[in-house]
Amino acid sequence: MSPSYETTIRVLPDKKTHFPLIDIPDIGTLTLWPVTKIQFEMFMIQTKAYGDTWYDEVLQCNPRISYHRVTKMNYERLFITGVYPDEVLSFSKWFGDGYRIPTVNEWRKAYTSLSSLNGELEMPEDLSEPAETIWKKIHGFPETSLSLTKFSLMQWGTVEWVMKNEEEFAGIGHPRHEFKCNCSNPLTDLVEKIKKNTTYPRKGYRHCGFRLIKGNCHDE
């Protein structure tokens, strides 16, 4: 019998954006979903790091949608994609002490761990209004409420940046066919490899979002 999530994981809001984090023993604390545009916009507003020109280019990869209008057909548009790993690293420093892009192994361990759990997550208190709305919407889609890998959007979310080593990043994940076709198995394959501080045309990474981890071990 699979272990119950109640004894193993807990969900709590992050202190910066009040979106949900998921704490998985032996792995660490991860953003429950890929980082949303709303969260990235808070970073842009507070740091003045990127302006309209930059954001217009990013939004061409995956247009923004209001959390009020999210449906099971378009929810991937909530998440910020098309950003380079060094831009993600700037965000992670702002997001909180110790947060970073997960390693390949960390991501896969989290995926495997969530695959083995039963039950539903309980929505934490103190989520922001957008986060609460998004939680309810995703929970309401029959497809994503079925399993924790789907509710956390490790499955049927975006491709996500992971760290191969200090200098190299790659994409991992298993998005829906409608968002990205020809997807590989996240437990065995990596896609969209890229080196730190290199920039190729952004549109080539239009499916690449990210989640952050505050890991218990950095074990690659």
Could you list the residues that contact another protein (CB under 8 A)? 38, 41, 44-45, 48-53, 55-56, 59, 64-69, 130
Q: Is 49 or 217 the residue whose CB approaches another protein more closely? A: 49
Angle (CA) 29 151 157, round 5° = 90
- Single-letter residue type at 52: D
Q: Is 55 or 94 the residue whose CB approaches another protein more closely? A: 55
Q: Is 49 or 73 the residue whose CB approaches another protein more closely? A: 49
CA dist 119 and 109 (Å) reads 19
CA dist 116 and 85 (Å) reads 29
Q: How far is the CB of 64 from another protein (least distance, A)?
A: 6
Q: Are 130 and 38 spatial neighbours (Cβ–Cβ below 8 Å)?
A: yes
Q: How far is the CB of 80 from another protein (least distance, A)?
A: 12
Q: How far is the CB of 134 from another protein (least distance, A)?
A: 12
Q: How far is the CB of 52 from another protein (least distance, A)?
A: 4
Q: Is 136 or 193 the residue whose CB approaches another protein more closely? A: 136
Q: Is 68 or 182 the residue whose CB approaches another protein more closely? A: 68
Q: How far is the CB of 59 from another protein (least distance, A)?
A: 7
* Neighbour-count burial of 157, counting CB atoms closer than 10 A to its CB (0-12 exposed, 13-18 middle, 19+ buried): buried
Task: Tell me if residue 192 falls in helix, strand or coil.
Answer: strand
Count Cα atoms within 13 angstroms, Cβ side, for 214: 13
